[in-house]
Structures are given as structure tokens and as C-alpha cells.
């Protein structure tokens, strides 16, 4: 599955990939981690209300 993102966002993700080179994380893994953190944060916010 492919997703189209703004060039600026893709550049920021590529920068994260470079910064995490020692972890061996690729772009897909970085995006997955960001999305998982977003939804986890959202679920925690909902539980507090």
C-alpha cells in the first residue's frame, strides 16, 4: 500500500531515518512508530475523559 505525502513531510521522515541509522529503522518503521504513538496518545486522552 502506498501513501502520498507532502515533500516537506517526506524530507522530515528521511531525516529521522538518518538519525536512527544505528537502529536500522527504515522509513516504513518510522512512520509506523509515529502512527502507533499518535493513536496510543489519543486512546489515553479518551480514557481520561
Does residue 2 fall inside a structural domain?
no
Helix (H) or strand (E) holding 42: helix 27-48
The number of folded domains in the chain is: 1
Does residue 27 fall inside a structural domain?
yes
Q: How far apart are CA 29 and CA 9, in angstroms?
A: 15
Helix axes 27-48, 7-19, angle to 10 degrees: 100
The pLDDT value recorded for residue 15 is: 95
The pLDDT value recorded for residue 19 is: 93
The pLDDT value recorded for residue 1 is: 63
The pLDDT value recorded for residue 41 is: 81
Does residue 37 fall inside a structural domain?
yes
Residues 14 and 30 sit within 8 Å (Cβ to Cβ): no
Residue-number span of the structural domain to which 16 is assigned: 7-48
Report pLDDT digits (tens) over 1-49: 677 889 999 999 999 999 989 999 999 999 999 999 999 887 777 777 6
Whole-structure pTM value: 0.66
Amino acid at each position: 500500500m502506498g501513501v502520498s505525502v507532502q515533500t516537506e513531510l517526506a524530507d522530515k521522515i528521511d531525516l529521522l531515518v538518518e538519525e536512527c541509522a544505528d537502529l536500522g529503522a527504515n522509513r516504513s518503521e518510522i512512520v509506523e512508530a509515529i502512527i502507533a504513538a499518535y493513536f496510543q496518545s489519543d486512546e489515553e486522552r479518551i480514557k481520561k475523559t
